[in-house]
Amino acid sequence: MMRIPLQWTIAVTEDEAAMAHKAADVFMETARDRIKKSGHFSVAVSGGSTPRPMHRLLAEDPHDSSRVWEKTHLFWVDERCVPQDDPASNYGMARGDFVEAVAIPERQVHPMKGIVEPDRGATDYEKTLRSFFCAKQDAFPRFDLICLGIGTDGHTASLFPDHPALNETRRWVVAVKGGHPDVWRLTLTLPVLNAARKVMFLVSGGNKRDVVTKVFQNDPSGLPARRIQPGAGAVTWMLDEDAASGLLWTRGIEYDHRDEIPAHRCMRR
């Protein structure tokens, strides 16, 4: 029997465009809810190509969201150690896709500095996070929302399979080398990702089908994405039909594209 983490839900959409709409809605709903409850919204976004349609929708602002952005603090899950105008820069890409277009005050945008020496970049970003979250020495920051992607090898953020960075238990940000492009990167660590209130994976395309299936089947190699199981938070897997096609929801589960369902309901037993 496959054990699916209880805090995981899935939301399957017809295609990548529908997923972007749903994800932008979740982003804004989460922001409004947190601003109502705590006065501000802290979110960390990932790089890669999958989140771009959602980011562009945020820029189009169908939600009349200027008041949300005024209270939003925007951080990054990971960054490649390249200049901000390099096409591989996660901040550079997000800046063009939505950051410059929305009403977020500049002081509330917190890019990782990809151009300093990697270990120093990691230490600097941890300082930035510590001063924002005012967390005690041994505690981890609690982001309201963390948006993640997954690579075909099962990596998430810049946490790659079998990399020693996966064992980090103390630091909030570390420097690692790897991925495509194979450059130094800065990444939030597992304890930080797992301290979030809400994590949203965005995954689309048939090339992700096998890795999604593997992650849900609890592959014994302990793929990084499988290790996203916040102690006191929720994880939503936003999947398009192609990425979800290895899960059993296509067979006999009553599924409505508007629903989010507990992930264990969609697995073969």
* Contacts to ligand 6PG by CB under 6 A: 46-50, 77-78, 90, 149-151, 155-157, 179
> Which residue in this structure is represented by tokens 């609890």?
218
Q: Minimum distance from CB of 174 to ligand 6PG (Å)?
A: 14
Say which residues have a Cβ less than 8 Å from residue 98's Cβ, sequence separation at least 6.
55, 56, 58, 59
Q: Minimum distance from CB of 153 to ligand 6PG (Å)?
A: 9
Select 111 or 179, whichever has its Cβ closest to ligand 6PG.
Answer: 179
Q: Minimum distance from CB of 192 to ligand 6PG (Å)?
A: 14
Select 141 or 154, whichever has its Cβ closest to ligand 6PG.
Answer: 154
CA distance 185 to 183: 6
Select 88 or 266, whichever has its Cβ closest to ligand 6PG.
Answer: 88
Q: Minimum distance from CB of 218 to ligand 6PG (Å)?
A: 20
Select 92 or 151, whichever has its Cβ closest to ligand 6PG.
Answer: 151
Strand order across the beta sheet in which 183-188 lies: 78-80, 183-188, 173-178
Q: Are 229 and 14 in contact (CB under 8 A)?
A: no
Residue 197, classed as helix, strand or coil, is coil
The dihedral region occupied by 204, where left means phi > 0, alpha psi between -120 and 50, and beta the remainder, is beta
Q: Minimum distance from CB of 230 to ligand 6PG (Å)?
A: 17
Q: Minimum distance from CB of 187 to ligand 6PG (Å)?
A: 8
Select 22 or 155, whichever has its Cβ closest to ligand 6PG.
Answer: 155
Alpha-helical runs (H) found in 39-145:
52-60, 66-70, 90-97, 118-133
Q: Minimum distance from CB of 41 to ligand 6PG (Å)?
A: 20
Q: Both tokens of residue 117? A: 């020496």
Select 34 or 185, whichever has its Cβ closest to ligand 6PG.
Answer: 185
Q: Both tokens of residue 40? A: 């501000």
**Single-letter amino acid code for the residue at 114:** G
Say which residues have a Cβ less than 8 Å from residue 238's Cβ, sequence separation at least 6.
11, 13, 19, 22, 23, 26, 200, 201, 202, 203
Select 13 or 156, whichever has its Cβ closest to ligand 6PG.
Answer: 156
